[in-house]
Amino acid sequence: MNSPNKLSVVIPIFNQSHLTERCLKSLFAHSSQVVEVVVVNNASNDKTNDVLERMGVLADQAQIRFEIVNNAENRGFGRACNQGIRKLHFESAPGMPLQNHFAVILNNDTWLMNGWDRALTEKASSLRLGCIGPYFYEGAFDEKDLYRRSEAFVMLNGHKTRNHFVPILMCFTAEAILKLRFDHGGIFDERFFVTYEDADLKVRMEQAKVKYAQTGACFIWHHSMGSRKSLPSGYEQEGHRLFLEKWGFDPREHHHTLLGKLKRGYWKLKEKYGMF
Cα angle 179-13-134, degrees, rounded to a multiple of 5: 55
**What pLDDT sits at residue 93?**
47
Give Cα separations from 186 to 128, 139, 151 (angstroms).
22, 32, 34
pTM of the model: 0.92
**What pLDDT sits at residue 182?**
92
Which residues is 41 bridged to in the sheet? 13, 70
**What pLDDT sits at residue 92?**
46
**What pLDDT sits at residue 265?**
78
Domain 6-242 -> CATH class? alpha beta
Name which of 110, 123, 98, 109 is nearest 177 in CA terms. Answer: 98
**What pLDDT sits at residue 264?**
76
Question: Where along the chain do its domains lie?
Answer: 6-242
Cα dihedral 183, 186, 187, 189 sign: negative
**What pLDDT sits at residue 98?**
61
Cα angle 134-262-172, degrees, rounded to a multiple of 5: 20
**Residue type present at position 28:** F
DSSP state of 42: -
**What pLDDT sits at residue 89?**
84
Strands (E), the chain: 6-13, 34-41, 65-70, 101-106, 110-112, 131-137, 161-162, 169-173, 212-222
**What pLDDT sits at residue 194?**
86
Cα–Cα distance, 119 to 159 (Å, whole number): 11
Cα–Cα distance, 266 to 258 (Å, whole number): 12
**What pLDDT sits at residue 258?**
77
Query: Mean pLDDT per 10-residue run, the chain (276 residues)?
Result: 82 97 98 97 96 96 97 96 92 56 97 98 96 96 97 96 96 94 93 93 97 98 70 78 95 77 78 78
Count of C-beta atoms within a 10 Å radius of residue 93: 17
**What pLDDT sits at residue 230?**
56
